[in-house]
Amino acid sequence: MYTTVAVLRTLYLSDMLQPADTPSRPLRLRSADSSSYVKPRLRTKFGEQAFSHSGPAAWNQLPEHTRQLSSLSVFKRELKTILFSRSFA
Protein backbone atom coordinates (compact mmCIF):
# COMPACT_ATOMS: atom_id res chain seq x y z
CA MET A 1 0.00 0.00 0.00
CA TYR A 2 2.90 2.38 0.75
CA THR A 3 4.37 2.02 -2.74
CA THR A 4 0.93 2.43 -4.28
CA VAL A 5 0.30 5.63 -2.34
CA ALA A 6 3.76 7.22 -2.12
CA VAL A 7 5.56 6.00 -5.22
CA LEU A 8 2.63 5.24 -7.56
CA ARG A 9 4.42 2.42 -9.34
CA THR A 10 1.26 0.39 -9.85
CA LEU A 11 -1.36 2.51 -11.57
CA TYR A 12 -3.96 -0.25 -11.73
CA LEU A 13 -3.84 -0.53 -7.92
CA SER A 14 -3.90 3.21 -7.34
CA ASP A 15 -7.02 3.42 -9.52
CA MET A 16 -8.80 1.17 -6.98
CA LEU A 17 -8.18 3.60 -4.11
CA GLN A 18 -10.30 6.64 -3.33
CA PRO A 19 -8.95 9.27 -0.91
CA ALA A 20 -11.21 10.05 2.05
CA ASP A 21 -12.62 13.50 2.69
CA THR A 22 -12.01 15.00 -0.73
CA PRO A 23 -13.37 18.51 -0.23
CA SER A 24 -15.82 19.83 -2.81
CA ARG A 25 -15.24 23.43 -1.67
CA PRO A 26 -11.94 25.31 -1.47
CA LEU A 27 -12.26 25.30 2.32
CA ARG A 28 -9.12 24.39 4.25
CA LEU A 29 -9.94 21.58 6.67
CA ARG A 30 -7.69 19.52 8.92
CA SER A 31 -9.18 16.40 7.38
CA ALA A 32 -7.83 17.50 3.98
CA ASP A 33 -4.31 16.79 5.28
CA SER A 34 -5.32 13.25 6.17
CA SER A 35 -3.91 10.38 4.14
CA SER A 36 -6.86 8.07 4.77
CA TYR A 37 -8.65 6.10 2.09
CA VAL A 38 -12.27 5.05 1.71
CA LYS A 39 -13.18 1.40 2.20
CA PRO A 40 -15.81 0.47 -0.38
CA ARG A 41 -19.10 -0.92 0.85
CA LEU A 42 -19.39 -4.66 0.47
CA ARG A 43 -22.29 -7.00 -0.12
CA THR A 44 -20.48 -10.18 0.93
CA LYS A 45 -17.82 -11.24 3.43
CA PHE A 46 -15.77 -12.58 0.52
CA GLY A 47 -15.15 -9.01 -0.71
CA GLU A 48 -13.14 -8.21 2.43
CA GLN A 49 -10.20 -10.07 0.90
CA ALA A 50 -9.98 -7.70 -2.08
CA PHE A 51 -7.19 -5.12 -2.17
CA SER A 52 -9.70 -2.33 -2.68
CA HIS A 53 -11.12 -3.11 0.79
CA SER A 54 -8.29 -4.67 2.83
CA GLY A 55 -5.65 -2.17 1.66
CA PRO A 56 -7.43 0.95 2.92
CA ALA A 57 -8.57 -0.90 6.06
CA ALA A 58 -4.98 -1.72 7.06
CA TRP A 59 -3.62 1.65 5.88
CA ASN A 60 -6.17 3.67 7.90
CA GLN A 61 -5.20 1.82 11.10
CA LEU A 62 -1.62 3.09 10.89
CA PRO A 63 -0.71 6.30 12.75
CA GLU A 64 -0.71 9.45 10.62
CA HIS A 65 3.03 10.10 11.05
CA THR A 66 3.81 6.59 9.76
CA ARG A 67 1.66 7.06 6.65
CA GLN A 68 3.51 10.26 5.76
CA LEU A 69 7.08 8.94 5.90
CA SER A 70 9.14 9.76 2.84
CA SER A 71 11.43 6.74 2.63
CA LEU A 72 10.41 3.11 2.05
CA SER A 73 13.15 1.79 4.35
CA VAL A 74 12.07 4.11 7.17
CA PHE A 75 8.43 3.13 6.59
CA LYS A 76 9.30 -0.58 6.82
CA ARG A 77 11.23 -0.06 10.05
CA GLU A 78 8.38 1.94 11.60
CA LEU A 79 5.79 -0.60 10.43
CA LYS A 80 7.79 -3.44 11.97
CA THR A 81 7.94 -1.55 15.27
CA ILE A 82 4.17 -0.93 15.21
CA LEU A 83 3.33 -4.55 14.41
CA PHE A 84 5.62 -5.93 17.11
CA SER A 85 4.22 -3.56 19.71
CA ARG A 86 0.64 -4.55 18.78
CA SER A 87 1.30 -8.27 18.99
CA PHE A 88 3.40 -8.29 22.16
CA ALA A 89 1.58 -5.59 24.14
At 33-74, the pLDDT tens digits run: 557 888 888 888 888 888 888 888 889 899 999 989 888 899
Cα–Cα distance between 15 and 18 in angstroms, integer?
A: 8
Q: Structurally, how many domains does the chain consist of?
A: 1
Residue 28 in any domain: the answer is: no
Residue 10 in any domain: the answer is: yes
**Three-class secondary structure of residue 37 per DSSP:** strand
What residues pair up with 37 in beta bridges, in sequence order? Answer: 19
Yes or no: say if 21 and 34 are a contact pair by the CB < 8 Å rule.
yes
Q: Residue 86: CA atoms inside 13 Å, Cβ hemisphere, count?
A: 9
Q: Domain span at residue 82?
A: 2-23+33-88
Q: Please report the pLDDT score of residue 26 as a whole number.
A: 54
Cα–Cα distance between 21 and 34 in angstroms, integer?
A: 8
pTM (predicted TM-score): 0.68
